[in-house]
Amino acid sequence: MKGYRLKGETIIIDRELTNLDMFVKDFLDIMKKYSDYEIVSGFVSIATGRTRGTEDVDIIFPLIEKSKFFDLFENLQKNNFWCYQGESPEEVYHYIQEMQSIRFARINEMFPNIEFIPFNKKKKAKYFEFTHPQKIKIKDFEFKIPPIEFEILYKEIVLAGEKDIADALHLRTFFSEILKKEKFKEYEPIIKGELK
């Protein structure tokens, strides 16, 4: 297999860590203390070898209680992250309650940034992908993404932009040896349900 290998259920990507990887790793090292998560969208393709720039990294997380969010927010601030939506957790938490995404970046920087996206069980596609994580590992950086087949279909059916179609094609090509037709059949109706 070119560019990756399987170790149990984990996909090991054979490459060095980039500055973008380290940015995401630093964020997740803090976030994992307070909430579970999954990385979705463009970073999945970039992490698996697609050469393209990105300004944001999409991370979904289950709706978080206020006290935990306050602790997370303050810990991120202590570790040189700032939030686009406000300087205090009090200012920002209502976005989470209203299921709106917020963004974090390094202090004095705008890009790259983390788009931090809350969801609950009503968001059936997000809930499904979240409860069926795929582990990826690059050197000592391990993180969770949706099943590869799910990510491909979501990009092709829901997002469907030029960049998304190219990302999906990269994933289809890169992982051609391990993709399963039955998973595409299973995931398609779940994803199409989001369009209704």
Say what the pLDDT of residue 118 is.
Answer: 97
Q: What was the pLDDT predicted at 51?
A: 85
From the options 2.40.50.100, 3.30.460.40, 1.10.1030.10, 3.40.50.2300, give the CATH code of 4-191.
3.30.460.40
Terminal Cα distance for the chain, rounded: 38
**Neighbour-count burial of 107, counting CB atoms closer than 10 A to its CB (0-12 exposed, 13-18 middle, 19+ buried):** exposed
Q: Which residues of the chain have pLDDT under 70?
A: 1
Sign of the four-CA dihedral 50, 154, 166, 60: negative
Tell me the pLDDT tens digit for each residue of 86-109: 999 999 999 999 999 999 999 999
What is the predicted pLDDT for the residue at 6? 95
What tokens does 39 get? 């990385």
Q: What is the reported pTM?
A: 0.96
